[in-house]
Amino acid sequence: MAEREIRLLGDPVLRRTAQPVPALTETVRALIADMFDTMYGADGVGLAAPQVGIGDRVIVVDPRQDDVQPFALVNPVILERSSEVDRAEEGCLSIPGLQEIVERPVRVTVAGLDRDGAPVRMAVEGFVARILQHEIDHLDGVLFIDRVSPLKRKLLIDKWKKLHR
């Protein structure tokens, strides 16, 4: 299909709560295809619709692992989170050039619809769980910099401003 422009930190669409998709139409399927193209073009492992300026609850994920096929989720929700957490570095296609350590649950159970509209429920852990939490955060207007201490967030935003003068 086509790559779309990735919206960057400061774009209001990144802070809005995305709306549920009422029906899986050809327009939504085209969006999913474009999102995969955009994610691959930017060398990412996940992308949420708000990152391409669309306020729908749609994400695409490809952790680039042999045992996990790329997938899309429409209207994803996190049903369960493990009490066990892990700290790992995260970055974001909407905030290029910034990375920081973020603490997240190690395991999550997520439900939604696949690109054909079939219900999906998956229990995942590790890197895939981290990607899903990061992308679902985007659907709620939350960025990874919101998951760090206020001091680190300020330092990251100051660094972002210097990089994008």
Look at the chain and report how many structural domains it folds into. Answer: 1
**Is residue 7 in a domain?**
no
Per the CB < 8 A criterion, the answer to whether 59 and 73 are in contact is: yes
Rounded Cα gap, residues 40 and 62, in angstroms: 9
**Is residue 3 in a domain?**
no
Could you identify the residue written with the tokens 């050039």? 97
**Is residue 2 in a domain?**
no
**Is residue 71 in a domain?**
yes
Domain that holds residue 123: 12-163
51-72 tens-digit pLDDT: 999 999 999 999 999 899 999 9
Q: Does the predicted TM-score (pTM) go above 0.85?
A: yes
User: Residue 135 catalytic?
Assistant: yes
CATH number where 54 lies: 3.90.45.10
Residue 104, class by beta-carbon neighbours within 10 Å (0-12 exposed, 13-18 middle, 19+ buried)? buried
114-158 tens-digit pLDDT: 999 999 999 999 999 999 999 999 999 999 999 999 999 999 999
pLDDT level of residue 50 (50, 70, 90 thresholds): very high
**Is residue 61 in a domain?**
yes
The mean pLDDT value of the chain amounts to 95
**Is residue 134 in a domain?**
yes
Instruction: Determine which one of 5, 26, 125, 135 is catalytic.
Output: 135
**Is residue 127 in a domain?**
yes
**Is residue 135 in a domain?**
yes
